[in-house]
Amino acid sequence: MNIIDENFYLQSSEKVAKNLLGKNLIKKEENCVLKGKIVEVEAYYGEDDPASRAFQNRVTKVSRWMWKKGGIAFIYMVHGHWLFNIVTGKTDQPEGILIRALEPLKNIDRMKERRQTSNLENLTSGPGKLTQAFSLNDKYNGSKVYHPCSKIIVGESDNKEEFKIEDSYRVGVSKDLSRKLRFFIKDNCFVSKKNMRRKK
């Protein structure tokens, strides 16, 4: 398995976000390995981004991970759902990427059990759904996604297929920036908010 290098995460969150599309999220468990392709992400910045947990440099129990060096997992709960992020940027540069959707690839049965559905498109097509399917929670905070010993890892794409990247404003954000910071793979059916995509 080709793991993405630590240095990849030290770039700006927008750049990391776009380049994460198509890569694999891997979760190692007792008897199996879950795998999914990243198909939808959002970039978040630090002190000047009102939607960010690090807005105005507010350090809290939840946000403190964002000041660490890029490449670690950052997970917190919203509306009763765990959301999975990857910290980007150098130490003391609070930025991150929210992973919003995956395409299930390996151990799909395990995902179906956890999601209580057999509908493939409904397993990981949303930020709260994928954490349930992958059983991700705050105990993975700080995990190095570039380290081979970690339980949660980002690996290189399986194949070098071409895809188009589309962008939009971020989902569920009341005070968004005037830049489009949500990126997803065009025409991938596992991208969340399908009805929204149809809109102009």
Partner DNA sequence: ATCTCGATTGGCT
Partner DNA sequence: GCCAATCGAGATG
The binding site for DNA (CB under 7 A) comprises 42, 44, 51-53, 58, 60-63, 76-81, 83, 85, 96, 98, 115, 117, 122, 126-129, 138, 170-174, 192, 195-196, 198-199
* Smallest distance from DNA to CB 3, Å: 24
Q: How far is the CB of 173 from DNA (least distance, A)?
A: 5
**Beta carbon nearer to DNA, 18 or 58:** 58
The nearer residue to DNA, 61 or 160, going by C-beta atoms, is 61
* Cβ partners under 8 Å of residue 21, min gap 6: 38, 39, 40, 41, 163, 165, 183, 184, 185
Kindly tell me which of 11 and 122 has the beta carbon lying closer to DNA: 122
Give φ, ψ of 108 to 5 degrees: -65, -30
Please, what is the Cα angle at 55 between 183 and 74, to 5 degrees? 60
Structure tokens at 178: 């005037």
> Contact, 150 vs 1, CB < 8 A?
no
Rounded to the nearest whole angstrom, what is the least distance from the CB of residue 123 to DNA in the complex? 9
CB of 2 to DNA, least distance (A): 26
Smaller CB separation from DNA, 61 or 164: 61
Closest to DNA by CB, 19 vs 156, is: 19
CB of 161 to DNA, least distance (A): 26
Q: What DSSP string runs through 116-161? A: T---GGGSSSSHHHHHHHHT--GGGTT-BTT-TTSSEEEE--SS--
**Element counts in the chain: helices (H) and strands (E):** 4, 8
